[in-house]
Amino acid sequence: MGILGKIFTWWDGATIGTSIALRSAKRVGEDGLGNIYYTGKALPDGRLRRSVIYVGANDASRVPPEWHAWLHHSIDDLPDDSLPPVRRWEKEGKANLTGTADAYRPAGALEKGGKRAAATGDYEAWSPDAA
């Protein structure tokens, strides 16, 4: 992406303004997806500002839970230092797929043909003419 793209776009990586603001920040870590995490200037309450620069599209659902906890000051230390190791039954996080071709579409969705199983039981549709 060219310099104009960096100035005017926010949806694919950091803008030039963010890049300038992060010059004084300290890089503290990187997650498995390649997102980079920083601490910066102090907030009014004394805590350090915490930031993330996404690799690829800026989508908050691409931040793993442990780093989300760190970003929101739920844990003080970096996730690698303060959390227990990943258990073998834990699944990897996935980005939100809503709006993509890989999104979940139940039976009856228009993208799956719009046909669904007939309703069963004693369901009877309301009609304004029924008395």
For residue 71, what pLDDT band results from cuts at 50, 70 and 90? very high
Share of the chain above pLDDT 70, in %: 83
Number of H helices, E strands in the chain: 4, 3
pLDDT at 117 over 70: yes
Instruction: Read off the tokens for 131.
Output: 């008395």
CA 120 to chain centre: 39
Amino acid at 76: D
Compute the average pLDDT of residues 16-23: 73
pTM: 0.65
